[in-house]
Amino acid sequence: MARPLIHIPSDIRRGDIIEIKTLISHVMETGYRIGVTGLPIPRDIIEDFVCQYNGEEVFRARLAPAIAANPYISFFTVATESGTLEFSWTDQHGKTQVQITAITVT
C-alpha cells in the first residue's frame, strides 16, 4: 500500500463536527476478474479500516470487494481535544498500514 492521503479541516474548534476524508492507493482486486491466462486474478482487498482518536476508536469500516479501487472513505467525528488521529487499513492477509495525523483543536 502506498502513502495515504488524509484531509482534516484547518481551524478546528472544540465541539465542531469535522469531516475526515481518506484516500489510499490499493488495487482492491475483487477476485472475479479474469486475467489474460483465462484464470481469475486472486482477490486482494483491504478488509478493515479503523480510525482512533487519541487511542479511542471513533470509526470502523468493513470493506467488501464492492468498494472501488483506491478506496475513498469520508466520515465525521466530534473534535473533542488536540492530539492524534491514527488511521489503519488492514488487508485480507492481515497486513496493516498505519497513518498518524496530528489534530489541533482550539
Partner 1 sequence: MRQHDPEKREPVFGKDRAQSKKAVGARLACTALLLLAAALGAAIAADERRSGSDFMSAGTRAMQDDDTQNPGMLAVIDGETLWNEKAGGSGKSCADCHGDARVSMKGVAARYPAFIAAAGRPLDLEQRINMSRLDDQKAAAFAFESANLLALTAYIALQSRGMPIAVAENAQSEPYIEAGRVLFEQRQGQLALSCAQCHDDNWGRHLASSIVPQAHPTAYPIYRLEWQQMGSLGRRLRGCMSAIRAEPYDYGAPELVDLEFYLMWRARGMTMEAPGVRP
Partner 2 sequence: MAGMKDKLRRSRREVIRTAAMLAGAAGLARVIVRPAAATPEMLQEAIRAAVGEAPVNKGRVKLDLPPLVENGNSVPMTVAVESPMTKADHVKAIHVFNEKNPQPYVISVWLGPRAGRAAVSTRIRLADSQTVTAIAELSDGSFWSDSVDVIVTLAACIEETTH
Name the residues that contact partner 2, by CB under 8 A.
17-18, 30-32, 34-36, 38-40, 53, 56, 58-69, 71-78, 80
According to the binding rule CB under 8 A, does residue 2 interact with partner 1?
A: yes
Could you say which DSSP state residue 65 is in?
A: T
**Distance, C-alpha 76 to centroid of its chain:** 13
Q: How many CB atoms neighbour CB 20 within 10 A?
A: 21
According to the binding rule CB under 8 A, does residue 78 interact with partner 1?
A: no
Q: Which three cell numbers stand for residue 32?
A: 472475479
13 binds, among partner 2, partner 1, none (CB under 5 to 8 A by kind): none
* Cβ distance to partner 2 smaller for residue 18 or 105: 18
Identify which range of 2-10, 40-48, 59-67, 87-95 contacts partner 1 by CB under 8 A: 2-10
Asked whether the beta carbons of 86 and 100 are under 8 A apart, the reply is yes
